[in-house]
Amino acid sequence: AKSAGRNTFCFYNHSMSNQARDRLALEQALREALAGDGLSLHFQPKVTLATQAICGAEVLVRWSHPVLGPISPAIFIPLAERSGLMVELGAWVVNEACRQVSELLQAGITLPSVAINLSVQELERLGVAEFLADTLERYGLQPSMFEFEVTETSLIHREKVVIDVLQRLREQGFGVALDDFGTGYSSLSYLRKLPLSTLKIDRSFVVDMTEDEVSASIVQTIISLAENLNLHLVAEGVETIEQRDRLMEMGCDTVQGYLYYRPMDLQELICLLSSSNAS
């Protein structure tokens, strides 16, 4: 390894500058997507287990790069955060989600609830609660129909500011969900501090629960906790019938995952909801 040192060093430098250049190019492309019409939205339905009815949908942003094709939000959301684009991107999501939801309602279709992810930078934006309320009002939408999903990692910095904002949102009639529950450092203490309406069990526990009894106990405990605290509970990433059946036995009421529906565009959602409204 030592003898390869010099070459490795050169290669390393070379690849680092490539990486930096790629990142810059990707950032530039994202900027253009945001300025043009390069972003789109998908909706992933949530299902009430007892009735198998669709009880809501989560809004997920999509970006297809002109050359590279679809890029995962797990890549471009952090990129937007690092490059100061997140507030603008988040505002685009909220506005576009409201526009599409109002289109859906105008088509005479009902959807009980819509969930939108908010990142920390959006939560820290000055006047975010007013921005959200104003945007909904512009589209004639009721706050009670909307829920905002936040992760606990977004709460680590400036905790007080974020808690105040969430409080404001709840007072305005919005729901607030704690996303990826159980994966952070202080999940339990946040249950006391945050004005929550919903807990979302992270997919990693759902994946492991049919293989491993510790994960199963964790899921069972979170379900009981939500029940006792009077919170809605959503299990995310449900892919198998076995997971679904186990969740149902454990008293979970709502699930989201590929077993039922993949994220889809508005037209597909409208088709799905009009056929399920009719049946």
Where do contacts with ligand C2E occur on this chain (CB under 6 A)?
A: 44, 59-61, 72-74, 77, 90, 93, 117-119, 149, 179-180, 236-239, 256-258, 263
The rounded distance, in Å, linking the Cα atoms of 267 and 78 is 28
Q: Give how far Cα 258 sits from Cα of 42, 60, 158, Å.
A: 14, 14, 35
# chain residues binding Ca ion, by CB under 5 A: 5
Instruction: Please report how close the Cβ of residue 15 comes to ligand C2E at its closest, in angstroms.
Output: 26
Looking at the Cβ atoms of 29 and 218, the one nearer to Ca ion is 218
Chosen from Ca ion, ligand C2E, none, partner binding at 61 (C-beta under 5 to 8 Å by type): ligand C2E
122 near Ca ion, judged by CB under 5 A? no
Contact 232, 198 (CB under 8 A): yes
Q: Which of Ca ion, ligand C2E, none does 60 bind, CB closer than 5 to 8 A by kind?
A: ligand C2E
Nearer to ligand C2E, 122 or 253 (CB): 122
**Residue 147's beta-bridge partner residues?**
115, 175
Nearest approach in angstroms of CB 178 to Ca ion is 10
State the Cα–Cα distance between residues 210 and 250, nearest whole angstrom.
12
CB 157 within 8 A of CB 119: no
Residue with smaller CB distance to ligand C2E, 202 or 253: 202
Nearest Cα neighbor of 218 from 206, 200, 233 is: 206
Q: Which is nearer to Ca ion, 11 or 185 (CB)?
A: 185
Q: Which does 263 bind (CB under 5 to 8 A by kind): ligand C2E, Ca ion, none?
A: ligand C2E
End-to-end CA distance of the chain: 67
Single out the residue of 111, 120, 121, 149 in contact with Ca ion (rule: CB under 5 A).
149
State yes or no: residue 152 binds Ca ion (CB under 5 A): no
Tokens (6 digits) for 123:
């939560």
Q: How far is CA 218 from CA 246, 248, 263, in A?
A: 13, 15, 27
- Of 104, 180, 198, 244, which one interacts with Ca ion (CB under 5 A)? 180
Q: In terms of CB distance, is 231 or 238 closer to ligand C2E?
A: 238
Report CA-CA distances (Å) from 111 to 47, 128, 133, 150, 250: 12, 25, 19, 21, 26
| Shortest Cβ 108–ligand C2E spacing (Å) | 26
SS3 256: strand
Shortest distance in whole angstroms from residue 61 CB to ligand C2E: 4
For binding to Ca ion (CB under 5 A), which residues are involved? Answer: 117, 149, 179-180, 236
